[in-house]
Homo-oligomer: A and B are copies of this chain.
Amino acid sequence: MIEFELKVMVPALGPIRDRLVILKATADGVRHEHDIYYNSPVRDFGTTDEALRVRYAEDGAMVTYKGAKLAGQKLKAREELNMRVASGETCESIFERLGFTKTAEVDKRRELYTYKEASIALDEVQRLGTYIEIEIMAEKEGGDAVARIDAIQQELGIVGDPITSSYLELLMAQQ
């Protein structure tokens, strides 16, 4: 599956939250996500634009691999593989034994909504600020994913430039 994503830095989450309520978006709850990112012993994921992550949240641990961003897309689009694991700690140990190294940790509070089959996240990211992400998972070509994300952005009244950097990249750029 390919993840199509719009991310915009916003001055405050309150007005967007109000719009989501008015539009009757489904509220999917609030989570605290603690993400641990790894680099490969074979190639630098910072250069190849890949990501390997163990995420801890209230509902358990999840491993995610993200491929390089696909060229020629207006928004960020990349392959994403997600897998729930019974133990994030064991997964960390396995990655370490396999030669992967921890590069960064990202903490955020995330409010989740579903609206018109898109996943919307209102994020407060430690050391980075407040962001909205609108995400659609689609088959290879993506179809009208970009147009649908555009339309939702309009409905929510979000202005600002799309950010194609991940939170990981934004944090690394600060260092």
Q: Is the interface of A mostly helix, strand, loop or mixed?
A: mixed
Number of A interface residues in the complex (CB < 8 A)? 24
Copy number in the complex reads: 2
Residues of B within 8 Å of A85, CB to CB, are 63, 83-86
Our pick among B41, B83, B86, B97 for the contact of A91 (Cβ within 8 Å) is B83
Cα–Cα distance between A93 and B80 once the two chains are bound (Å): 11
A83 vs chain B, min Cβ distance (A): 4
A117 vs chain B, min Cβ distance (A): 22
Q: Are B97 and A81 in touch, CB under 8 angstroms?
A: yes
Cα–Cα distance between A67 and B52 once the two chains are bound (Å): 22
A65, CB-defined interface residue at 8 Å: yes
A90, CB-defined interface residue at 8 Å: yes
Q: Are A86 and B87 in touch, CB under 8 angstroms?
A: no
Residues of B within 8 Å of A97, CB to CB, are 50, 65, 67, 79, 81
Which residues of A pack against B, CB within 8 Å? 40-43, 50, 52, 63, 65, 67, 79, 81-87, 90-91, 93-94, 97-99
